[in-house]
Chain A
Amino acid sequence: MKVSRRRALIIIATAVAGFLGYKYISSILYPERDERAEKETSVEEGATRREAEVGESKYSEVSVVRGVRDPRLLARKVVEQIGGIEKIVGNKDRVVIKPNVGFPSRDAVASPEVVAEIAKMVIEAGVSEVIVAESSVRGYVTSFCFEKTKYYDVLKPLGIEVIDLKEQGNIRTVKAKNTLKLGEVDVYEETYTADILISVAKMKRHVSADVTLGIKNLIGCFPDYEKGRFHREGLHKCIADIAYILKPDLVVIDGSKAMTKHGPSGGVMVEANTAVASTDPLAADYIAAKILFELEGEEDPAARAKKVKYFGYAEQLGVGTMDEDKIKVVTG
């Protein structure tokens, strides 16, 4: 059979049209997911969440409570020991609590009871808006983690809004200066624009970051694609950067049950009945890391804690101090 030129062209054109049509229909039915495009973004030039406070008191106070079994009491005591929440929230009206709820397992998250007690204290201090916001580890749905770890059960009766940032969060692009790695970074606006940001962390070990406490917990203030980027660009420097950009006003570390040896999940649980709190994020983390390594039977916990790489970078950026001469530990 002889095929004329015209017929050959028609056949080719039909085939191409058919293929394109198929691609088009499948792109409508099953669109590629572009997380970045799903959210509206706004840009913030050259900023960190709050200005570095020059001329702050010469030492950082870190409150440590040990041997209290009730997590609510533990939380209350540890905050009261550094002068109470009123001193921190002042007359501000939007307080965001960022708990560590990375996984759907209670061992791996900050106890909802601790978060609830802190939220209660904030309300008692006269703050009108208290929000609990988190975005879990990649591959886990935050609302599912909240549900499994009883966050909704504990917090909703108190009338506290619990936000799944992956679903409900807005994104702000921050162009930070003087950082180690991150020039421009997308952050969940809810946490960035908070008048007061409280990081409520779980005391645990971490396989990539060594320890995950008040500073590392802040990684949940960033969307999933940024979390991946931190690993690509060098995790420890990025963790220091995010601490510098977000610098929380208060860090509370829940060590009612500490996760030792391994983490962020599946480590050896120790009933430490401990909590650490400070307005200096690095000092709180350093003291908590010391406790964690002490629980693991480390011979020199202080030296070991100093070896956590991002602590050094954070100190370099002025996030806080881990110089024991400048830290005043307050115990009950």
Chain B
Amino acid sequence: MRQGIRRRDFLKTLVAAGIIGSLGGVAKLLPYRRVVRPPGALVEEKFLSQCTRCGQCIQTCVTGTLVPCSLGEGLLIWGTPRVDPLRAPCEAVAGRCEISRPCVENCPTNALVYVEPEKVKMGSVKWIKENCIAYRGGECLVCYEVCPIDGAITPRRGIPVFHSGKCIGCGRCVYACPPEPKALYLVPDGERRIETTR
């Protein structure tokens, strides 16, 4: 009869403890899509730790642009809010939500905070020129027409030119883009996120 713990059991426990302990870390390694967050979202890591996936922002969004991320977009971001410009644009700038934002006001954990309209930058727009009516020679500059930001889209010889530095990612152009499939989509590139909860 050997005394104490067996070497095999000891090693098993060690490995099990290691696996359990690293689960949190491993979860962070799981891939997830970078999505366009509502205006005034904390930096992604803090946002994900503070967002409880309660869905309050989504339920109270007046424009209907906010949707929950699906499981397919990543386990970690499942249920967190993202801007879907195909449903509606975000009205934080030049819209109903300049002064009071239901998504922010109803966030119970301050994962979303209020930022002034001129500081809102949720992302920027990308152009698929092959789908663009103007690029194909048609009469369309709807994106330029509906853009609330001076100089974010400029027409050059009847074709829109996109300036991602000025674009705030409200999604109006994506929403209004007439062709099917659309010539525009929103990405979080260049987004301005909040470091600390004020």
B-contacting residues of A (Cβ < 8 Å)? 22, 26, 30, 33, 104, 137-141, 144, 206-209, 227-232, 234-236, 264-266, 309
Could you tell me if A228 and B91 are in contact, using CB atoms closer than 8 angstroms? no
Kindly state the separation between the CA atoms of A141 and B89 in the bound complex, as whole angstroms: 10
Could you tell me if A208 and B142 are in contact, using CB atoms closer than 8 angstroms? yes
- Top 3 A-B residue pairs of the complex, sorted by shortest distance between their CB atoms: A139-B172, A228-B178, A138-B176
The verdict on B145 contacting chain A, using a C-beta distance below 8 Å, is yes
Could you tell me if B140 and A208 are in contact, using CB atoms closer than 8 angstroms? yes
Chain A nearest CB from B144 CB (Å) reads 6
Q: Which residues of chain B have C-beta atoms less than 8 A from A138's C-beta?
A: 142, 146, 172, 175-176
Could you tell me if B141 and A141 are in contact, using CB atoms closer than 8 angstroms? no
A-contacting residues of B (Cβ < 8 Å)? 58, 63-64, 67-68, 70-71, 87-89, 91, 94-96, 133, 138-142, 144-146, 150, 155, 172-173, 175-180
Interface centre among A207, A264, A266 (most CB of B within 10 A): A207
Q: Which residues of chain A have C-beta atoms less than 8 A from B96's C-beta?
A: 141, 144
* Other-chain residue from A33, A144, A235 in contact with B139 (beta carbon distance below 8 A): A235
* Other-chain residue from A139, A141, A229 in contact with B146 (beta carbon distance below 8 A): A139
Count A-B pairs with CB separation below 8 Å: 75
Kindly state the separation between the CA atoms of A233 and B180 in the bound complex, as whole angstroms: 12
Q: Given A30-B58, A33-B87 in contact, is the A140-B141 Cβ separation under 8 Å?
A: no
Could you tell me if A141 and B91 are in contact, using CB atoms closer than 8 angstroms? yes
Could you tell me if A33 and B64 are in contact, using CB atoms closer than 8 angstroms? yes
* Other-chain residue from B138, B150, B180 in contact with A234 (beta carbon distance below 8 A): B138
Kindly state the separation between the CA atoms of A236 and B89 in the bound complex, as whole angstroms: 27
Could you tell me if A232 and B142 are in contact, using CB atoms closer than 8 angstroms? no
The majority secondary structure among interface residues of chain B is loop
Kindly state the separation between the CA atoms of A144 and B177 in the bound complex, as whole angstroms: 21
Chain A nearest CB from B146 CB (Å) reads 5
Kindly state the separation between the CA atoms of A265 and B95 in the bound complex, as whole angstroms: 15
Listed A/B pairs (20) with beta-carbon separation below 8 Å: A22-B71, A26-B68, A30-B67, A33-B87, A104-B94, A138-B146, A138-B175, A139-B176, A140-B95, A141-B91, A207-B144, A208-B141, A208-B142, A227-B178, A228-B177, A229-B178, A232-B133, A232-B138, A232-B179, A264-B145
Could you tell me if B94 and A231 are in contact, using CB atoms closer than 8 angstroms? no
* Other-chain residue from B141, B146, B178 in contact with A232 (beta carbon distance below 8 A): B178
Q: Which residues of chain B have C-beta atoms less than 8 A from A22's C-beta?
A: 71
Kindly state the separation between the CA atoms of A234 and B133 in the bound complex, as whole angstroms: 9
Could you tell me if A231 and B146 are in contact, using CB atoms closer than 8 angstroms? no
Closest to A30 in B: B67
Chain A nearest CB from B126 CB (Å) reads 18
Kindly state the separation between the CA atoms of A73 and B149 in the bound complex, as whole angstroms: 34
Q: Which residues of chain A have C-beta atoms less than 8 A from B144's C-beta?
A: 207
Could you tell me if B133 and A231 are in contact, using CB atoms closer than 8 angstroms? yes
Could you tell me if A231 and B89 are in contact, using CB atoms closer than 8 angstroms? no
Kindly state the separation between the CA atoms of A281 and B116 in the bound complex, as whole angstroms: 44
Q: Given A22-B71, A30-B68, A139-B175 in contact, is the A234-B139 Cβ separation under 8 Å?
A: yes
Q: Which residues of chain A have C-beta atoms less than 8 A from B172's C-beta?
A: 138-140
Kindly state the separation between the CA atoms of A209 and B155 in the bound complex, as whole angstroms: 13
Q: Which residues of chain B have C-beta atoms less than 8 A from A139's C-beta?
A: 89, 146, 172-173, 175-176
Closest to B63 in A: A141
Closest to A22 in B: B71
* Other-chain residue from B87, B138, B155 in contact with A207 (beta carbon distance below 8 A): B155
Extra pairs beyond A140-B172, A207-B141, A227-B178 (16, CB < 8 Å): A26-B68, A138-B176, A139-B146, A139-B172, A139-B175, A141-B95, A144-B96, A207-B155, A208-B139, A208-B142, A209-B139, A228-B176, A231-B133, A231-B179, A234-B139, A235-B139
Closest to B151 in A: A266
Closest to B176 in A: A138
Q: Which residues of chain A have C-beta atoms less than 8 A from B176's C-beta?
A: 137-139, 228
Kindly state the separation between the CA atoms of A228 and B87 in the bound complex, as whole angstroms: 15
Kindly state the separation between the CA atoms of A33 and B145 in the bound complex, as whole angstroms: 23
Q: Which residues of chain B have C-beta atoms less than 8 A from A137's C-beta?
A: 145-146, 176
Q: Which residues of chain B have C-beta atoms less than 8 A from A228's C-beta?
A: 142, 176-178
